[in-house]
Amino acid sequence: MHLPAIANEVGIKLNLDIINAISDRTPNLCKLSPAGQHHIEDLYFAGGVQAVMNELSKKGLIHLHLMTVTGKTVGENIKDANVKNYNVIRPIDNPYSETGGLVIVRGNLAPDGAVVKKSAVPPKLLRHRGPARVFESGEEVFEAILKGKIQKGDVIVIRYEGPKGGPGMREMLSPTSALAGVGLIEDVALITDGRFSGATRGACFGHVSPEAAERGPIAVVQDGDMISIDIENKTLTLEVPEEEIKRRLESLGPFEPKVKKGYLYRYSKLVRSASTGAILE
């Protein structure tokens, strides 16, 4: 989300699909918890981010000539940063995956895109089809998970948690932690217009845009609607006829901000969905 926000400030139009283009040619060399068994301190002692960059440069994947704030080029900064532990940072010829960890998915459920951390998704959930379980907040789904109301195969939908709906796009770490705690993280997908942190694992799709508060299709998903996920083909599909989606959107009432006064009210009125970087109009 930060990249399109920065791009907007400098007048650059950034298409999120560039993330897929970069990810498709960039191997995944390092998996840290919760996606892998190693931790951030292991990365540090293995050579750090600069060692990862140096390894990637062996296949011409880093622009070494670019100037940095150090007064030196990227190449000068990383030339002595060698990998000290190839169990933590894989060699360029033996990556965890030939493609990177992030994927932008699109479809009638997320026309302007959603983000998933592919590197942390269980293989069996890379493609999945299941019934929607719809919730209007992170608190609602957290309670449902702890009460055993979520079943294997379900696709949890959490909406009105985006920049406008939150307001402020809260982190959905509690629901994903709860799924892991009850042993469902490898059997349930989660889709939200809210956001996730780096601590999230599983088939978790965040930043769904347009968000529910901007009358995005996620606002009209109903319990039991079938949702198809195909991360390999970068699609997120609500299996409802387009005519029915249109009818539901037309009958949707106006969005009412959760906060009715003060700065958060003004923010909710002015902010755009995550695909824009949550910029203010």
Q: SS3 sequence, 18-34?
A: HHHHHHHHCCECCCECC
What does the alpha-carbon distance between residue 24 and residue 42 come to, in Å, rounded to a whole number? Answer: 26
Q: 100-144 pLDDT, tens per residue?
A: 888 999 999 999 999 998 888 889 999 999 999 999 998 999 999
**Of 33, 137, 177, 197, catalytic:** 197
- Give the residue carrying structure tokens 């055993």: 148
Helix, strand, coil percent values for the chain (each to nearest 5) = 30, 20, 50
**What is the chain's length?**
281
137 and 194 in contact (C-beta within 8 Å)?
Answer: no
Percent of the chain with pLDDT over 70: 100
Which residue ranges of the chain lie beneath pLDDT 70? Answer: none
pTM of the shown model: 0.88
What does the alpha-carbon distance between residue 113 and residue 103 come to, in Å, rounded to a whole number? Answer: 10
- For residue 6, what pLDDT is reported? 93
- For residue 100, what pLDDT is reported? 87
226 and 130 in contact (C-beta within 8 Å)?
Answer: yes
Which residues are within 8 A (CB) of 143 and not within 5 positions of it... i.e. 6 or more apart? none
The question of whether 23 is a catalytic residue gets the answer no
Nearest Cα to 191, choosing from 123, 138, 148, 240? 138
